[in-house]
Amino acid sequence: MSAINIALIPLLPLASFLLLGLFGKKHFKESGGIIGTLSLMGSAGLSLFTAYNYFFVSGKVNGVYQQLEVLKIQWLEFVPGVSIDMGLLLDPISVMMLVVVTFISLMVHVYSLGYMKGEERFSVYYSFLSLFTFSMLGLVLSSNIFQIYMFWELVGVSSFLLIGFYFEKPSAVAASKKAFIVTRFADLGFLIGILILAFHAETLDFKILIQRLTDVSSPQLHSAIAGGLFGISALTWGVLLVFAGGAGKSAMMPFHIWLPDAMEGPTPVSALIHAATMVVAGVYLVARLFPVFAISCPGALEVVMYVGAASALFAAVIACTQTDIKRVLAYSTMSQIGYMMFALGVSGYGGENGLGFTASMFHLFTHAMFKALLFLGAGAVIHYVHSNEMGDMGGLRRKMPVTHFTFLIACLAIAGVPPFSGFFSKEEILTATFHSNKLVYGVALFTAGLTAFYMFRLYFSIFWKRDFVSHGQHGGHGEAPFTMKLPLVILGLLAMVTGFVPFSEFVSSDGAALHSEFHLTMAIAPVVFGLVGILIAFVMYKSESDLPARVSVAMRGLYKGAYHKFYIDELYLFVTKKIVFNLVGRPSAWIDKNVVNGLVDASGMFAQDSSEELSVWQSGKVQNYAFWFLVGAIGLVIAFVIL
């Protein structure tokens, strides 16, 4: 496994970014898409080759998958031993992510050839896509915690640029800023977490850091546990702050508010960045540091579990009430990432205890396929209808057979209906949860029912409900061009079969194969919940009726709360506008203008005034001088006499 092959995986998209970014507008106006797609084909091919090599040829030593550092270049050294290195780290999760990222990205590149056709800034779009893919691949391959932070920021910026791609739309500008700033806020935690962990572990390298912070006999672990603040050890602070960064990127509560708005970006971008790859970076980060969480910091892992479970439920409830199809999918993404998070949270390290870890990664894998498919399908629908609103859709199954069929597959997969992929990964998560925490298990089960409900609400509203009435907006084109249908079909096939991948053989918390068995008894409950959810959706949304309205009236309070996303956005707005701007920003500017600068001006004025006063004495009139000389002399004489 040569380092060059692996380094080329991120470097090809980088080359495409530079080429299109510098010369795209002039020379590759039309061909930008082809160039981007070709570079991604190269990356995807190399990734598959690497995965084959790693999983089947050279990755395993004595039955355990190894962490291979195929490249390490010192980039910036802070103190001896503590440096940012640019490295390439191969282990089961990074190789799995390589395949997911390059593959989904390739699908999105191909799809965009059709979807973005005729766009004036076509080559710019592809250069941004390439930049994102490069950054995401760099993130996945990072061997150093500061390196991952750098690429973390880069994916953030590419996401910002792509959400704001239609920059003439004020809502897109607002959404892109919101996404960047909210995640930046979370990244502040990540940065401070890195500072803490690096100080105690005396390294930034993942491998050494994990080894030092999990070894009971290492002095570094002792120092990390000994130091602390407010009764919480430095280690826990560090790990939790790093997790805050992860929660920001993965749109976990309370940092989730950016994700629904991010849907302002072009739909293929939502599929790539805000469904399949970047938003799972937080899960990946926790998985990357998993031994530290599981072995040294079980308290922090518990936080991960509760944050994940709460986000899963919360987002699912909101998803039931939204009418913008992309927003439904966004909340669904948040909910499914919640699943991945709490799966990690309930997991232990090593052997059978690590089932949750494997399940989480498995769900990440299957979710990437079916959620990308859902978004691309939604994109095709929006392309056809020219609207995001469910109310403008209905009865599209006859007009868009391919989209309809693949969308149905994805819905069945996410609802956890056997034998589609989501069923297997969800079942594994629930099994792991059942053995660890009954409360979270209950939440997960209920959320599974909700998921099936809102997904089929979406499905029926788009494809059934009523006959499609064209509003005369769309130009009478057919369902979608071939370049858009092809990715749908490929992803549809994958959503059907990826559940059968013997995932636990390859990915586990400690690298050794985990022989997870399929428990029929554990599978019954989620399937029943899922089917009930589908059934309710069928009754309510299969055809037009006043049933949904009646239900929403009956559950008025909850419905209204969920419809308004539980007013979290308003809360944020209040805190930022009223408190940060009015109580910090405005006073700072005011103080600077009036107090600090006022003192400067006042001292200037004082100098001027006093010199003006004094200048009276320098009048140049000899009589005055003589007069005051006399006054002085007499005064002195009097003073002498008296004293």
Partner 1 sequence: MNLSLLILLPVLTALVVLVVRDAKQVRAVALLGAVVQLVLCGFLLMAYTQERNAGNTTAFLFQQRAMWFTAFNIQYYLGVDGISVAMIMMTSLVVVAGVLVSWKIEKLTKEFFFLLLFLSAGAYGFFMSLDLFLMFFFLELAVIPKFLLIAIWGSGRKEYSANKLALMLMGGSAMVFVGLLAVYFYNGTPTFDLVALSKTHLPLVVQHRFFPFLFLGFGVFGALFPFHTWVPDGHSSAPTAASMFLAGISMKLGGYGCLRVATYLMPEGAVEYQWVIILLSAIAILYGAFATLMQTDLKYINAYSSVSHCGFVLLGIGMLTKTAITGAVMQMVSHGLMTALFFAAIGMLYERTHTRMVAHMGGLLKVTPFIGTVFFIAGLCSLGLPGLSGFAAEMTVFMGAWQNPDMWYRFATIAACASIVVTAVYILRALGKVMWGKLELKDHEHVAFADAAWNEKLAAVILIAGIVVIGVAPFLLQQLLSPAADTISKQILRAAF
**Residues engaged in binding partner 1 (CB under 8 A):** 25, 74-79, 82, 84, 146, 149-151, 153-154, 157, 160, 164, 167-168, 170, 173-174, 176-177, 180-181, 184-185, 187-188, 191-192, 195-196, 198-199, 229, 581, 584-586, 588-589, 592, 596-597, 599-601, 604
Q: Which residues contact 170 (CB under 8 A, 6 or more apart)?
A: none
Q: How many CB atoms lie within 10 A of CB 229?
A: 10
Contacts of 585 (CB under 8 A, 6+ apart): none
The answer to whether 545 and 460 have CB atoms below 8 angstroms apart is no
> What is the Cα–Cα distance from 192 to 57, expressed in whole angstroms?
40
Residue 171 or 619 with smaller CB distance to partner 1? 171
Cβ 532 vs Cβ 449: under 8 Å: yes
CB of 579 to partner 1, least distance (A): 12
Taking the C-alpha atoms of residue 479 and residue 513, their distance in angstroms, rounded to an integer, is 45
For partner 1, give the closer residue by CB, 160 or 342.
160
Nearest to 289 by CA among 213, 358, 340, 390: 213
394: left (phi > 0), else alpha (psi -120 to 50), else beta?
A: left
- Measured from the CB atom, the residue of 154 and 402 that comes closer to partner 1 is 154
Decide: 253 and 282 in contact? Cβ < 8 Å.
no
Residue 213 or 319: the one with the smaller Cβ distance to partner 1 is 213
DSSP symbols for 242-301: HHHHHHHHTT-TTSTTHHHHGGGS-HHHHHIIIIISGGGHHHHHHHHTHHIIIII-HHHH
Smallest distance from the beta carbon of 70 to partner 1, in angstroms?
A: 21
DSSP class of 84: E
SS3 188: helix
Distance of closest approach, residue 192 Cβ to partner 1, in angstroms: 6
Nearest distance, CB of residue 639 and partner 1, angstroms:
36
Q: Are 348 and 400 in contact (CB under 8 A)?
A: no
Closer by beta carbon to partner 1, 76 or else 633: 76
Strands (E), 45-179: 60-61, 64-65, 68-79, 82-90
Q: Report in angstroms how near the CB of residue 146 gets to partner 1 at its nearest.
A: 7
Using DSSP's 3-state secondary structure scheme, residue 513 falls into: coil
CA neighbor of 348 nearest in space, from 434, 283, 436: 436
Nearer to partner 1, 145 or 378 (CB): 145
DSSP 10-30: HHHHHHHHHHHHHHHHHH-TT
* Closer Cβ to partner 1, 165 or 314, answer by number: 165
CB of 448 to partner 1, least distance (A): 36
- For partner 1, give the closer residue by CB, 25 or 60: 25
Q: Which is nearer to partner 1, 38 or 173 (CB)?
A: 173
Neighbouring-strand partners of residue 72: 87
- In the bound complex, what is the minimum distance in angstroms from residue 27's beta carbon to partner 1? 15
Whole-number minimum distance, CB 44 to partner 1, in Å?
24
User: Which amino acid does the sequence have at 488?
Assistant: L
CB of 167 vs partner 1, minimal distance in Å = 4
Least distance (Å) between residue 507 CB and partner 1? 29
Output 156 or 377, the one with its CB closest to partner 1. 156
Considering the complex, state which of residue 76 and residue 524 has its C-beta at the smaller distance from partner 1.
76
User: Which residue number, 173 or 532, has a Cβ lying nearer to partner 1?
Assistant: 173
Rg (CA), the chain: 31
Query: Could you say which DSSP state residue 392 is in?
Result: G
User: In the structure encoding, which two tokens stand for residue 393, read together?
Assistant: 């859709």
Let me know the angle formed at the C-alpha of 496 by 53 and 405, rounded to the nearest 5 degrees: 135
- Please, which residue, 132 or 180, has the CB nearer to partner 1? 180
Other beta carbons within 10 Å of 385: 22
Give, as one character, the DSSP assignment of residue 517.
P
Kindly state the smallest distance separating residue 406's Cβ from partner 1, in Å: 35
CB of 255 to partner 1, least distance (A): 12
Report in angstroms how near the CB of residue 36 gets to partner 1 at its nearest.
19
**Taking Cα atoms as reference points, which of 508, 572, 550 lies closest to residue 182?**
572
Where b means 16+ CB within 10 Å and e means fewer, 35-53 reads: bbbebbebbbebbeebbeb
Q: Rounded to the nearest whole angstrom, what is the least distance from the CB of residue 282 to partner 1 in the complex?
A: 18
Instruction: Tell me the C-alpha distance between 52 and 619, whole Å.
Output: 97
By beta-carbon proximity to partner 1, the closer residue of 547 and 607 is: 607
> In terms of Cα–Cα distance, which of 229, 228, 238, 121 is closest to 190?
238
Q: Which residues pair with 84 in a beta bridge?
A: 76
